[in-house]
Structure 1
Amino acid sequence: MATQDTCCSVAPYFQIHPGKAETFRAIAEKYVQWSAREPGCLYYGFSFDGDFAHCREGFQDANALLAHLDNLRPILHEMGEVSSLVKIEIHGAEHELAKLRAPLANMNPQYFVLEFGFRRG
């Protein structure tokens, strides 16, 4: 049975520029605060391994993910000034991913199609 889950999760990975770790962390904290205001954001946070960072993000559906990008658009450039986006993965059901392929094409994400599973809550 195919999943009925509409959740879209995003996994961007960043290489923090030398000497910019504290600035990156301050920006990450601001991103978390901004994202916390979004009703469609299920979870959002950063984890670190030295100068390598990962943002763990989950959204109700593709529309909530697109709303998130609009919310952060005024400050998205800040992350690019202190890090390089190494890779970005987007996970979700195909009917939700289809809504993201054109708007996110410039980010060159790797898409993972959710075929089986469930979600509580």
Structure 2
Amino acid sequence: MFDHDTCCTLVPYFEVQPDQLAAFQALGPRFVERTRSEPGCRHYAFSYSGHTAHCREGYDDADAVLAHLKNVGDLLGEALKIARIVRLEVHAPAAELDKLRAPMASLNPQFFELAEGGIRRAGQG
């Protein structure tokens, strides 16, 4: 069975200050633990390549993204003291993107509108 797709994916890349990589990596489990309680989060994890960190994030819809950003706002503030976002993509259907454009503007994301015809299975992120 297929559902109407409202899935939102965030694709942030952080450039971590060279002497702060261990401190940034220590924030990862704190982000994950805080996010674990969010019912609208489908997947969330960090990965690293040298001093570049990526957070793989998927949410049910724009409301879940906004709830997440509120939930981890203080941790993101800590992270941005030792790293900078070098790229942030937001992938979602047009109606969900419209809900995110203004609230996420300060993070300077690039918005990608989901093309029609994809597959979204019920209950999967």
Shorter chain as denominator, the TM-score bin is over 0.9
Whole-Å separation in 1 of the counterparts to 2:57 and 2:18: 25
Q: Once superposed, what is the RMSD of the aligned Cα atoms? A: 1.2
Whole-Å separation in 2 of the counterparts to 1:23 and 1:13: 16
Note the residue ranges of structure 2 that are not aligned, 5 or more in a row.
none
Aligned to 1:87: 87
Whole-Å separation in 1 of the counterparts to 2:91 and 2:47: 18
Kindly report which structure 2 residues correspond to 1:3-42, keeping only aligned pairs within 5 A, or say none.
Answer: 4-42=4-42
Bigger mean CA deviation after superposition, 52-61 or 111-120 = 111-120
Kindly report which structure 2 residues correspond to 1:38-53, keeping only aligned pairs within 5 A, or say none.
Answer: 38-53=38-53
Note the residue ranges of structure 1 that are not aligned, 5 or more in a row.
none
SS of structure 2 residue aligned to 1:66? helix
* Post-superposition offset of 1:82: 1.4
- Report the structure, 1 or 2, having the larger helix content: 2
Q: How many residues align?
A: 119
**Pair 1:57 & 2:50 matched:** no
TM-score between both structures, scaled by the size of structure 2:
0.91
Which 4+ stretches in 1 moved above 2 angstroms? none
